[in-house]
Amino acid sequence: MTLSRSLSALALCCSVLALASCQTAPPPVIAPPASFIPLGVNAPYLNGDVIGGKRARAAKMKAAGIKPLTAAGAASYSSILETELRRQTAGIGLDVIRLQHGILIRIPAAFTFTSGSAVVNPQFDATLLEIARTVKSQNQSYVDVLAHTDTSGTPQVNQSLSDKRAAAVATFLSKHGVARGRIASKGYGESAPLYASDLTEEQKAANRRVEIRLVPYM
């Protein structure tokens, strides 16, 4: 009887030790730098109205012969569009982000422009062309082209440069089959940074970006 109790106690002890070994402490939470602003799906500039307002843009979509989506159709449309864009851009450094009311393609400016220039790099033509083909075939969405700069230079120069860059990408899309009536462009200069104080080159590179926002036409 004593041996049986001893064996039971030993078994219980082993069980407790085994359970304790499985309950490892969770990894520590790594806080982002204080200067980082996570402009994700809740960024105001991403979730406001389309550039120029939906009423004016819808008139252009209608004139282009594009039919609006139903609410149910919009959800399916966005899923198909997101899947195709993710497939096209996998592994090349572009981000495809699902928004509350659409999809955002975030492109580092180094992919599209050389420093201080608003001329699209020829090296990026192939990738941008693939994006244009998908946006052209899935045509029931507004296309907003947004461009941003870092804080190098004056705010006035940065605003002008971002306007020109956004317009250049919009023109590229239009020349490659995306209906001009779907497209609008806007530069944000340095007003919507990912890093509030872009002191390092890495931070500056993150702030310099072009974004293509696709919002279902309903």
Q: Name the pTM for this structure.
A: 0.80
Give residue 201's pLDDT.
84
Report the CATH fold assignment for 51-216: 60s Ribosomal Protein L30; Chain: A; (3.30.1330)
Give residue 161's pLDDT.
96
Distance CA 81, CA 90 (A): 14
Cα-based distances in Å from 94 to 62, 85, 173: 31, 10, 17
In this structure, what token pair is assigned to residue 52? 């120029």
Give residue 125's pLDDT.
83
**Which mean pLDDT values do the consecutive 10-residue runs of the chain (218 residues) have?**
45 45 42 45 81 97 96 94 91 86 88 87 85 94 96 93 96 96 96 83 86 96
Give residue 3's pLDDT.
41
E-state strands within 36-134: 95-99, 102-108
Provide, for the chain, the percentages of residues in helix, strand and coil under a 3-state DSSP scheme, each rounded to the nearest 5.
50, 15, 35
Distance CA 212, CA 183 (A): 10
Contact assessment for residue 162 and residue 189, using Cβ atoms and an 8 Å cutoff: yes
Give residue 18's pLDDT.
46
Give residue 42's pLDDT.
66
Q: What is the DSSP string of 9-40?
A: HHHHHHHHHHHHHH-PPPPPP-PPPTTB---S
Distance CA 88, CA 131 (A): 8
Give residue 64's pLDDT.
93
SS3 of residue 144 by DSSP: strand
Say which DSSP state 150 is in: -
Distance CA 41, CA 132 (A): 23
Count helices and strands in the chain by DSSP H and E runs: 8, 5
